[in-house]
Structure 1
Amino acid sequence: MALLPVDEALERILDGVKPLPEEAVRIAEADGRVLARALTAARTQPPFDASAMDGYAVRAADVETTPAELDVIGESAAGNRFHGKVGPGQAVRIFTGAPVPEGADTILIQENAQSLADGRIEALHPVEKGRHIRRAGLDFRLGQPMLEEGRLLGAATIGLAAAGGHPTLPVTQRPLVAVLATGDELVLPGEPCGPDQIVASNGFAIGALARAEGARILDLGIIPDDAGAITAAVLRARDAGAHVLVTLGGASVGARDLVRQALLDAGMSLDFWKIAMRPGKPLMFGRLDEMRVLGLPGNPVSSLVCAHLFLRPLVARLGQRAFTPDLRSAVLSAPLRANDERRDYVRASVAAGPDGLIATPFPVQDSSMLTTLAASNALIVREPGAAAAETGARCRVLLLG
């Protein structure tokens, strides 16, 4: 049976996926969240004409020609305005952010004023009308659109929302991704490792990748090669409300590859198994009630490459995050042999050259080698049946960040 093409596999995984419902969070907890709906200003900013500088609130008519002497009749500070009115030949000491008093129409900055005796100042330079005044509503006005639906919230946008009078924000729920590793050979980092065992790494890497797209992680731990134990772990993920279950390993065709059958026994509807890509051929996808199940290969590199291609866009769509693979054109710095019927994702180092990007494939592409993947910032994408490529040929690269 022909293997499923990568693009069709992604279409099936994303088919029918919609953003999760919204929830309200305190603005102090909104960093990295996504706005579930557009936000409008709940107030006007600034709410009054405010001084942009320290100095004196004056009438422009009084300082058209200088030097000019003025009587200082009071002070306006942020949070404590001057309640009188500025008349001819008068000034009010004012500080940045303070309300401009009635009657004043410009700000004489303090560098251009000289103190005199008896509470008077001398204006040293003329000032045009409206100078150094921030008009009410300069930033935004009540009811004005502030932030669009789907905006990823960060420092500036959270500051804007707070200034707009919002103590809580409507955000899209964060997807819950359950991660299940299986295998008698696996131990956690730091645990005693028997002569036939290896340290589990996939779960930590996959969790980090999913968190980077806004997910919460439910770590189901390492489950031994026991069909009943695997089925029980799968049902724990479902009962916990996981939106995505990621299984790691155990989905191939060996006698001890029990994950696929355990998932079927738990009620999963299998969509596909095995796709036309390298590394990552034994990828599995199905649905268990409302939970989507993504079965990743056990080899660390295969697992992470598949997670970049399939898990990241799935989590991003559930969380209403924009996701576009960063595909670019580059020039090969080394030859590549002809490709077979599978799409190849070749680990590579990409750097800027005088005429664009230069892609250097690593000579050893074994799917167990995390050192190579950690040194890679891109994958060279080779289509099925691609002819051999010489040094200097153009290629397509997927940047990993």
Structure 2
Amino acid sequence: MKLLPVDEARARMLAEVAALGVETVPLRQAVGRVLAEDVTAVRDQPPFDASAMDGWALRSADAPAALRIVGESAAGHGYEGEVDAGQAVRIFTGAALPKGADTIVIQENAQREGDLVAVPAAAPGHNVRPAGGDFKAGQALLSAGTRIDPWRLSLAASAGRGEVKVHARPRVALISTGEEIVEPPAAPGPYQIYDSGAPALAAMVAAWGGLASKLKPVRDDLDAVIEALRGADAELIVTVGGASVGDHDLVRAAAQALGLSLKVASVSVRPGKPTFFGVLADGRKLLGLPGNPASAFVCAELFLRPIVSKLQGSAGNLPIIHAKTALPMAANGPREHWMRAKLTFADGAIIAEPYRDQDSSLVSVFAAADALLRRPADAPALEAGGLVEVLPLPRG
């Protein structure tokens, strides 16, 4: 059984994955979806020279002076006339700059007396947002492969889009295996544990834009596992547990009965060595994760997240950043180690502090962590303050 480096294992997995079909959705339903088209602006934003402040629109050449008030320009309706010499128009934030005016004096710096307003000297363009200052008609604003979040949704809306083309959401079936697994809140037997892996993985998949279905846990019986795999209606099946080579690890054998073409047999990673990936005879993809929750979660971040992303048209890259380690670190062994860690900020730097206990069964440590710290295979010892790669984990 060849142990593949993490990057090579992920590349082999992604090579078997293609983006799903395209559908058009209303913009309000697009958050979390991945664009299947570029979004371009249909007009300039703002579409006219606009006021950045409440105040007075005037000709800079006329100031300082007491100017005659001739009208008002507010957001949604402007002043239809033209500002001539000696005139001023009351204007509000976001309103169109009237013809003839070239500057805005804020209301705090002006003094109104009846039909006149006294203004100080003002430079041309002061407090004016120029037409097209944000973006111009025809400008590409969002590219295909971009995941829509609330801020990007706002940009698409300001570009005049009411709907967008996005990739379909991948269906991901999650199957826990093992006699020891029981679903909460059922009472566990004396040798059973609650299924904490599949529910969390389902939430991860949903957060990454997929449609997760958590199937009923399967006992350690080859026929039962085969039937569970056969009945999983999804583009991607993710099994939790049964991925190793012990007497009770039956997932690979069950998958082979369904024509598994194994692409990754195991990964040189800690935790998560038994992780495997392949393609069933009918084209469905199968990712086998270890049963220990921390192992499953680490490998979900390293492999499942990129697969779900690529199914939606993204590249599937990991958002790796660099940080300084808070603790000295011993030399690493032959397997790449992804350590649960806590991120802080000090003196303008990101500090990553790995938890001392990295046992793969500790769900509490994963719940406290907000990053995974990467130690390459055979990495030498590292002093505190040394640079390390970290994968941030989203936390509310």
Q: TM-score, normalised by structure 1?
A: 0.83
CA distance, structure 1, for counterparts of residue 244 and residue 261 of structure 2: 17
Matching residue's letter, 1:268: L
CA distance, structure 1, for counterparts of residue 58 and residue 326 of structure 2: 68
Q: 1:16 to 1:58 in 2, by over 3 A?
A: same
1:161-176 alignment, distance < 5 Å: 161-176=156-171
Q: CA deviation at 1:336?
A: 4.2
Q: CA deviation at 1:175?
A: 2.6
Match of 1:308 among 301, 319, 332: 301
Q: Does the Cα contact within 8 Å between 1:180 and 1:203 map onto a contact in 2?
A: yes
Match of 1:265 among 257, 262, 266: 257
Matching residue's letter, 1:200: D
Matching residue's letter, 1:95: F
CA distance, structure 2, for counterparts of residue 330 and residue 104 of structure 1: 54
Indicate whether 1:192 and 2:184 are aligned.
no
Q: CA deviation at 1:180?
A: 0.7
Match of 2:240 among 232, 238, 248: 248
Q: 1:335 to 1:129 in 2, by over 3 A?
A: closer
Larger CA deviation: 87-96 vs 293-302: 87-96
Q: CA deviation at 1:397?
A: 5.2
Match of 1:115 among 86, 106, 112: 112
CA distance, structure 2, for counterparts of residue 395 and residue 115 of structure 1: 61
Match of 2:122 among 127, 135, 145: 127
Match of 2:101 among 89, 101, 104: 104
Q: TM-score, normalised by structure 2?
A: 0.83
Q: Does the Cα contact within 8 Å between 2:338 and 2:372 map onto a contact in 1?
A: no
Q: 1:318 to 1:125 in 2, by over 3 A?
A: same
Report the number of matched residues. Answer: 389
Matching residue's letter, 1:197: Q
CA distance, structure 2, for counterparts of residue 332 and residue 86 of structure 1: 63
Larger CA deviation: 368-377 vs 167-176: 368-377
Deviations 1:13-56 (A, max 9, x none): 12243333333222222223332222110122222232333233
Q: CA RMSD, aligned part only?
A: 3.3
CA distance, structure 2, for counterparts of residue 195 and residue 55 of structure 1: 75
Q: 1:168 to 1:257 in 2, by over 3 A?
A: same
Matching residue's letter, 1:317: K
Deviations 1:235-279 (A, max 9, x none): 332xx3x23211111233344333222222233323343344443
CA distance, structure 1, for counterparts of residue 92 and residue 388 of structure 2: 58
1:274-289 alignment, distance < 5 Å: 274-288=266-280, 289=282
Q: CA deviation at 1:375?
A: 4.5
Deviations 1:296-343 (A, max 9, x none): 12222322222232222222332315523536575684674773x544
Secondary structure at the residue paired with 1:150?
Answer: coil
Deviations 1:76-104 (A, max 9, x none): 22222233333333333222222233333
Q: 1:43 to 1:198 in 2, by over 3 A?
A: same
Q: 1:321 to 1:136 in 2, by over 3 A?
A: same
CA distance, structure 2, for counterparts of residue 121 and residue 229 of structure 1: 87
Match of 1:226 among 221, 225, 229: 221
Where does the alignment leave 5 or more consecutive residues of structure 2 unmatched? none
Q: CA deviation at 1:193?
A: 1.2
1:5-44 alignment, distance < 5 Å: 5-44=5-44
Secondary structure at the residue paired with 2:285?
Answer: strand
Q: 1:30 to 1:255 in 2, by over 3 A?
A: same
Deviations 1:337-380 (A, max 9, x none): 773x5444455667678898575562x55432323444454345
Q: 1:250 to 1:79 in 2, by over 3 A?
A: same
Match of 2:317 among 302, 312, 323: 323
Q: CA deviation at 1:183?
A: 2.1
Secondary structure at the residue paired with 1:252?
Answer: coil
Q: Does the Cα contact within 8 Å between 2:78 and 2:96 map onto a contact in 1?
A: yes
Indicate whether 1:298 and 2:295 are aligned.
no
Secondary structure at the residue paired with 2:262?
Answer: strand
Secondary structure at the residue paired with 2:97?
Answer: coil
Q: Does the Cα contact within 8 Å between 2:266 and 2:276 map onto a contact in 1?
A: yes
CA distance, structure 1, for counterparts of residue 161 and residue 250 of structure 2: 51
What is the aligned partner in structure 1 of residue 144 from structure 2?
149
Secondary structure at the residue paired with 1:221?
Answer: coil
Match of 1:381 among 371, 375, 383: 375
Q: CA deviation at 1:121?
A: 0.6
CA distance, structure 1, for counterparts of residue 132 and residue 205 of structure 2: 41
Q: 1:73 to 1:225 in 2, by over 3 A?
A: same
